[in-house]
Structure 1
Amino acid sequence: MLYPVYVNKGDDEHAHGAEIPDFPGCFSAADQWQELPGKIQEAIELYCEDEDMELPSPSSLDDLVNHPDYQGGLWMMVDIDVNRLKTRSVRLNVCLPEGLLRRIDEEARSRHMSRSAFLAMTARKELEAR
């Protein structure tokens, strides 16, 4: 599904910053233009993780282009794979060694993520690597 993304163009010292208006508070960044779509997909996946929410319909670019909050940057349309968005969680009970759980929590905290989001991200990466 094509979503409009507002981009503040980077320079030699700053990454390109992306804001996705249909997902309030969802941001991403990349040093290279070609990296932006993948980084935006990942940001939206993390945004939706563990959220009981309906996916928003994409806003019209015509409605956004003159919005005062989005001036001075660029617009791009990004094809978001909504099938990869996990908006409903299933509660489960698992047993983990205490030391491992402590390390998981520390790493999740350092990434500003919940334990569940970190475990899901890690499991997804492992499964995709196969």
Structure 2
Amino acid sequence: MSHYIAIIEDAGPDHAAGVWFPDLPGCFSAGEDVDAALLNAEDALIAFAEALAAQGRALPSARSLAALRDDPALADDLSHHMVALVPFRAEAVAAAE
């Protein structure tokens, strides 16, 4: 099983938490709190992979946290938000095809 690093934006108890993936532009999820957003993030990864597969494309490779930290475009996000590893279950995508 592989993992993708997600950036978690939590604006507090009165707002939904958002999760997005630096390596997967357009792939994001949200939830009432961080826990719900992270659970939804796994489903978002699968849906994103299925959409790419339908277009004949594969998921981009996941970068390490060290590689993401070396990306100047992500410096602000990485310094102001939490990060998490979100598992990607490729077998779930294969089963859906």
Shorter-chain TM range is 0.7 to 0.9
- Which has the bigger relative contact order, CA under 8 A and spacing at least 6? 2
Is the partner of 2:12 in helix, strand or coil?
coil
In our comparison, the structure showing a higher alpha carbon Rg is 1
RMSD of aligned Cα (Å)? 2.2
Aligned residues between the structures: 88
3-state SS in 1 of match to 2:35: helix
Higher strand share: 2
Match of 1:59 in 2: 63
Output the amino acid matched with 1:56: P
What SS class does the counterpart of residue 29 from structure 1 fall into?
Answer: strand
Cα distance, 1:7–1:15 mapped onto 2, change above 3 Å = same
Identity among equivalent pairs (%): 24
Equivalent of 2:90, from 71, 74, 82?
82
Cα contact 1:5–1:21 (8 A) shared by 2: yes
| Contact 1:44 1:85 survives alignment (8 Å) | no
Equivalent runs, 1:111-122 vs 2, <5 Å: none
TM-score, with structure 2 as normaliser: 0.73
Q: Which has the higher helix share?
A: 2
